[in-house]
């Protein structure tokens, strides 16, 4: 990942501090991406060892959040940034909150991966593979848009959440049908539903991060605006 584009956005004076904190956000993003990838694989393969690794790794994500938060507060106090610099720091503070919560969702998926499922129920978990893959691609594209602080890329990623929502809803209908057909498997299917829900929530959190990128670039809050108004920016 390179952050040249971010460098172009910020004024000279803060470069060193800001570059450092941006690098930390990227490392955090890379770790969260790895956690999610491992959690999805653990779930699909039924790999308990990998699930355990994800559960153990979550404290590192939390440490990143606490440290970057602290770094941002110190930069504000020391450098008294204004305009674009301040907006960038605000965007970072909000982004890391969502990244940390994506880590929490990965943890939830890893917990489900540790539960015991019959062979048939295990097949249901595999049905999450497509949704998991779409969400992983969305997270990667979000982190990429963040690295380049690219408005257009962020807008494009933001719009893909519709696709995720549709995939999620289709899966939900399928899972509900299974429950109706075989009521004894309801507790296991509920676990699959919680995993699907966790994936869908990660899509929402990627959307949030895209909104912070757009806020930084355009200096305008795009949360709660219509897709058309976003495009017109």
What is the contact mask toward a copy of itself in residues 72 to 111, using x (rule: CB under 8 A)? -x--xx--xxxx--xx--x--xx--x--------------
8 A C-beta contact, residue 150 and residue 9: no
Can residue 228 be called a binding residue for a copy of itself (CB under 8 A)? no
Could you tell me the smallest distance in angstroms from the CB atom of residue 120 to a copy of itself? Answer: 17
Q: What residues numbered 50-79 form the site for a copy of itself, per CB under 8 A?
A: 59, 62-63, 65-66, 69-70, 73, 76-77
| Nearer residue to a copy of itself within complex by CB, 112 or 153 | 112
| Separation CA 180–CA 183 (nearest Å) | 6
Q: Whole-number minimum distance, CB 194 to a copy of itself, in Å? A: 9
Identified binder of a copy of itself from the candidate list 221, 227, 229, 233, rule CB under 8 A? 221
DSSP 30-76: HHHHHHHHHHHHHHHHT-HHHHHHHHHHHHHHHHHHHHHHHHHHHHH
Which residues in 161-175 are b (16+ Cβ under 10 Å) and which e? beebeebbeebeeeb
Stretch that binds a copy of itself, among 16-24, 41-49, 149-157, 221-229 (CB under 8 A): 221-229
Q: What DSSP string runs through 167-222?
A: HHHHHHHHHHHHHHH-GGGHHHHHHHHHHHHHHHHHHHHHHHHHHHHHHHHHSS--
C-alpha to C-alpha distance for 121 and 24, rounded to whole angstroms: 40
DSSP letters for 132-154: HHHHHHHHHHHHHHHHHT-HHHH
Which of positions 172-191 make contact with a copy of itself (CB under 8 A)?
Answer: 176, 179-181, 183-184, 186-187, 190
Least spacing, CB of residue 127 vs a copy of itself, in Å? 17
**Residue 4 makes contact with a copy of itself by CB under 8 A:** no
Q: Which residues bind a copy of itself (CB under 8 A)?
A: 59, 62-63, 65-66, 69-70, 73, 76-77, 80-83, 86-87, 90, 93-94, 97, 176, 179-181, 183-184, 186-187, 190, 221, 223-224
């Amino acid at each position: 990942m390179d952050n040249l584009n971010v460098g172009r956005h910020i004024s000279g004076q803060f470069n060193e501090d800001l570059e450092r904190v941006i690098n930390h956000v990227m490392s955090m993003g890379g770790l969260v991406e790895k956690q999610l990838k491992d959690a999805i694989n653990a779930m699909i393969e039924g790999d308990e060892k990998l699930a355990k690794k994800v559960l153990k790794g979550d404290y590192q994500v939390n440490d990143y959040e606490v440290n970057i938060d602290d770094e941002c507060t110190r930069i504000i106090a020391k450098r008294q940034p204004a305009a674009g610099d301040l907006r960038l720091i605000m965007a970072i503070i909000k982004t890391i909150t969502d990244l940390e919560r994506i880590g929490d969702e990965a943890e939830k998926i890893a917990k489900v991966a540790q539960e015991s499922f019959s062979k048939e129920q295990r097949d249901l978990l595999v049905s999450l593979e497509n949704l998991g893959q779409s969400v992983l691609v969305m997270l990667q594209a979000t982190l990429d848009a963040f690295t380049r602080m690219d408005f257009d890329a962020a807008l494009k990623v933001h719009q893909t959440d519709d696709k995720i929502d549709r995939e999620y809803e289709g899966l939900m209908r399928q899972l509900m049908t299974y429950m109706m057909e075989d009521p004894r498997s309801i507790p296991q299917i509920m676990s699959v539903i919680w995993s699907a829900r966790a994936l869908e929530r990660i899509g929402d959190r990627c959307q949030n991060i895209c909104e912070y990128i757009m806020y930084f670039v355009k200096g305008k809050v795009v949360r709660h605006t219509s897709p058309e108004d976003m495009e017109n920016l």
